[in-house]
């Protein structure tokens, strides 16, 4: 065990990267990098809480906490039990769509949609880092449920029929108390969605997104003296978009799906999603969470960062920036639980994963469920958060028979992934394989013979390629091959998610007793991209 701890501290295996923290002004976007779309935010005293969508991954709806809106720390997930989150058979970007988080009268509420089954629902808790309630289901259809509390009432908005609808509900039972009424269909952009209502200076403001979650994405706003309208559109809409000429070469694209928050010092801020194209017009990291200051004077419309565009490096005054805790990207599997960054695909079979068989090792039991279907394979992964990174895993495959396999996958979804793995051959022969799944194609790209025992598998990401390297000693790495990022990008693969780096084990036969022993896993960014 001492050996393992020492190994993990070696900079070659694990870089502990100190997040930039300062007390000056300015910050780096995205504030939560990697696949973290559809952010929603609320505040309790000096603490901010933020949730994002999670689709076919389990647990669902990661929740983050911050004191300065710039540095976010994950404190858990809202949906941790199968009774809250049934992901059975959820295919590409099934499962959990956009969540909303609100705090009212000592209770946190999170409303979201399970698109694969059940529709819109709410869970609640008094402790956002602890367990959340079982769901109460909502009658009003559409997606992107949002809650607005006022005077003992709770209003629900969603977007059935390409229009934002509003009704009154009981958020603890889900019961609908008033008829659903259409209130605004936006400025004419496709997919009016992501509604949130705020009250300011005697006006109800209705913030939505339009244009779809692609290059035409935009945030628009309307207001009314009455909650059910009529809503008048802001003449300066959209208030945030990168679809125009002034953002043509901006490395951030697809800005939309926003939520607003007023800090205790009176300043207003917007969190929203966007993506960072690479290798031409392709994005791999999914839609990420960004932050922008908002100027919102009395009785006027909100203005996002001056002209409705944002930058990676935001040179603006911030809240007092808190010194961040050092962020470790290395997992040595010494703890009794995996960190919050690790997720499963759909509802996992818990006895296929163990951290207790051998101290300091993750055991992955091979099953016949592959990465290509809609059942839950033996897979546990973390997000790619940076365009340039290196990830190294040290692992072995035990008690394997012919064609059992285990390794690391660069996984966009069940139809688009690159798999790099140890494969058991005949008579003790063992190979290392690079295989790709691109739609209906599933060929082996490369295969080499390797010795038995621990092997270091390394994936390096850059703007254009994923490179796959291996080593038997952890110092000398050989390149097996590299694969083009574009074939598994969102533009090619479709869906709403981003790349996961996943550890997996697959048995060729139901009788397989094979399991992988994972010694440690290091992920580190090469640059602060
Ligand atoms: C989400 C919708 C959207 O529900 O994408 O970009 C959908 N916005 O509001 C899935 O994330």
User: Going residue by residue through the chain (529 aa), what tens digit of pLDDT does each one get?
Assistant: 334 443 444 333 344 443 444 445 899 999 999 999 999 999 999 999 999 999 999 999 999 999 999 999 999 999 999 999 999 999 999 999 999 999 999 999 999 999 999 999 999 999 999 999 999 999 999 999 999 999 999 999 999 999 999 999 999 999 999 999 999 999 999 999 999 999 999 999 999 999 999 999 999 999 999 999 999 999 999 999 999 999 999 999 999 999 999 999 999 999 999 999 999 999 999 999 999 999 999 999 999 999 999 999 999 999 999 887 777 788 999 999 999 999 999 999 999 999 999 999 999 999 999 999 999 999 999 999 999 999 999 999 999 999 999 999 999 999 999 999 999 999 999 999 999 999 989 899 999 999 999 999 999 999 999 999 999 999 999 999 999 999 999 999 999 999 999 999 999 999 999 999 999 999 999 864 4
| pLDDT number for residue 494 | 96
Mutate to test the pocket of ligand 1, among 36, 54, 98 (most ligand atoms within 8 A of CB): 98
Q: For residues 491 and 214, what is the distance between their CA atoms, to the nearest angstrom?
A: 10
* Neighbour count for residue 397 (Cβ, 10 Å): 24
- Judge whether 38 counts as a catalytic residue: yes
Which atom belonging to ligand 1 lies closest to the Cα atom of 143? 4
* Ligand 1 center to 209 CA (angstroms): 9
Give the pairing type, strands 153-158 and 164-169.
antiparallel
* Neighbour count for residue 150 (Cβ, 10 Å): 12
* Ligand 1 center to 290 CA (angstroms): 15
205 close to 198: Cβ distance less than 8 angstroms:
yes
Neighbouring-strand partners of residue 207: 196, 221
Q: Is the CB of 259 under 6 A from ligand 1?
A: no
Which atom belonging to ligand 1 lies closest to the Cα atom of 53? 11
Q: Is the CB of 496 under 6 A from ligand 1?
A: yes
Which residue, by CA, sits nearest to atom 3 of ligand 1?
213
Which atom belonging to ligand 1 lies closest to the Cα atom of 254? 6
Peptide bond into 230 cis (omega under 30): yes
Which residue, by CA, sits nearest to atom 5 of ligand 1?
213
Q: Is the CB of 97 under 6 A from ligand 1?
A: yes
Question: Residue 129 corresponds to which tokens in the numbers above?
Answer: 């880092």
Residue 233, phi then psi, degrees to nearest 5: -80, 140
Which atom belonging to ligand 1 lies closest to the Cα atom of 98? 4
Q: Check residue 2 and report its DSSP letter.
A: H
Of the listed 38, 332, 385, 404, which one is catalytic? 38
* Ligand 1 center to 288 CA (angstroms): 12
520 close to 331: Cβ distance less than 8 angstroms:
yes
Closest CA to 346 of 366, 369, 368: 369
Which residue, by CA, sits nearest to atom 10 of ligand 1?
97
Residues whose CB is less than 8 angstroms from the CB of residue 229 and which lie 6 or more positions away in sequence, other chains included: 183, 184
Closest CA to 263 of 52, 45, 108, 26: 45
| Helix, strand, or coil (residue 213) | coil
Which atom belonging to ligand 1 lies closest to the Cα atom of 213? 6
Neighbouring-strand partners of residue 107: 104
| Helix, strand, or coil (residue 310) | coil
Of the listed 68, 193, 288, 519, which one is catalytic? 193
Give the CA distances from residue 175 to residues 111, 115, 136, in Å, rounded to whole numbers and listed in that order: 14, 20, 8
| pLDDT number for residue 528 | 45
Closest CA to 240 of 148, 306, 153, 329: 306
Task: For CA atoms 274, 280, 285, 291, give the dihedral sign.
Answer: negative
Question: Residue 163 corresponds to which tokens in the numbers above?
Answer: 């229009």
* Ligand 1 center to 111 CA (angstroms): 14
Mutate to test the pocket of ligand 1, among 115, 116, 120, 144 (most ligand atoms within 8 A of CB): 144
174 close to 196: Cβ distance less than 8 angstroms:
no
- Judge whether 193 counts as a catalytic residue: yes
Which residue, by CA, sits nearest to atom 1 of ligand 1?
98
């Amino acid at each position: 065990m001492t050996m393992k701890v020492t190994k993990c501290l070696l900079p070659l295996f694990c870089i502990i990267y100190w997040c930039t923290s300062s007390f000056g002004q300015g910050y780096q976007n995205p504030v939560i990098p990697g696949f973290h779309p559809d952010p929603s935010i609320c505040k309790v005293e000096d603490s901010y809480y933020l949730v994002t969508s999670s689709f076919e991954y389990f647990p669902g709806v990661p929740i983050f906490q911050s004191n300065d809106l710039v540095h976010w720390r994950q404190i858990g997930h809202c949906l941790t039990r199968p009774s809250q989150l049934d992901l059975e058979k959820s295919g590409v970007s099934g499962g959990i769509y956009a969540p909303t988080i609100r705090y009212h009268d000592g209770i946190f509420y999170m409303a979201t949609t399970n698109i694969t089954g059940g529709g819109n629902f709410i869970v609640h808790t008094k402790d956002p880092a602890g367990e959340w309630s079982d769901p109460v289901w909502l009658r009003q259809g559409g997606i992107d449920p949002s809650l607005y509390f006022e005077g003992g009432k709770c209003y629900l908005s969603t977007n059935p029929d390409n229009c934002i609808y509003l009704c009154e509900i009981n958020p603890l039972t889900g019961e609908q108390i008033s008829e659903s009424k259409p209130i605004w269909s936006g400025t004419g952009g496709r997919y009016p969605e992501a509604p949130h209502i705020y009250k300011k200076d005697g006006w109800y403001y209705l913030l939505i997104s339009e244009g779809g979650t692609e290059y035409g994405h935009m945030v628009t706003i309307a207001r009314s003296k009455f909650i059910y309208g009529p809503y008048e559109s802001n003449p300066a809409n959209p208030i945030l978009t990168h679809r125009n000429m002034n953002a043509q070469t901006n490395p951030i694209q697809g800005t939309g799906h926003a939520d607003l928050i007023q800090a205790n010092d009176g300043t207003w801020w917007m969190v929203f999603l966007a993506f960072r194209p690479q290798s031409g017009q392709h994005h791999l990291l999914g839609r990420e969470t960004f932050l922008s200051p908002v100027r919102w004077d009395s009785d006027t419309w909100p203005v996002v960062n001056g002209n409705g565009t944002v930058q990676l490096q935001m040179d603006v005054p911030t809240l007092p920036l808190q010194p961040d805790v050092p962020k470790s990207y290395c997992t040595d599997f010494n703890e009794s639980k995996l960190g919050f960054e690790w997720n499963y695909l759909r509802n996992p079979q818990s006895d296929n994963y163990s951290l207790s068989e051998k101290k300091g090792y993750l055991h992955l039991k091979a099953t016949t469920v592959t990465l290509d279907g809609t059942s839950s394979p033996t897979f546990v992964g973390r997000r790619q958060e940076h365009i340039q990174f290196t990830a190294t895993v040290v692992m072995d495959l035990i008690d394997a028979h012919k064609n059992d396999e285990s390794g690391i996958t660069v996984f966009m979804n069940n139809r688009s992934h690159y798999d790099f793995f140890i494969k058991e051959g005949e008579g003790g022969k063992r190979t290392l394989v690079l295989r790709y799944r691109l739609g209906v194609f599933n060929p082996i790209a490369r295969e080499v013979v390797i010795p038995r025992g621990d092997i270091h598998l390394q994936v390096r990401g850059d703007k254009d390629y994923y490179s796959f390297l291996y080593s038997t000693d952890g110092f000398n790495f050989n390149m097996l091959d590299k694969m083009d990022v574009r074939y598994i990008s969102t533009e090619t693969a479709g869906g709403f998610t981003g790349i996961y780096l996943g550890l997996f084990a697959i048995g060729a036969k139901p009788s397989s007793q094979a399991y992988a022993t994972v010694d440690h896993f290091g992920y580190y960014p090469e640059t602060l991209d």
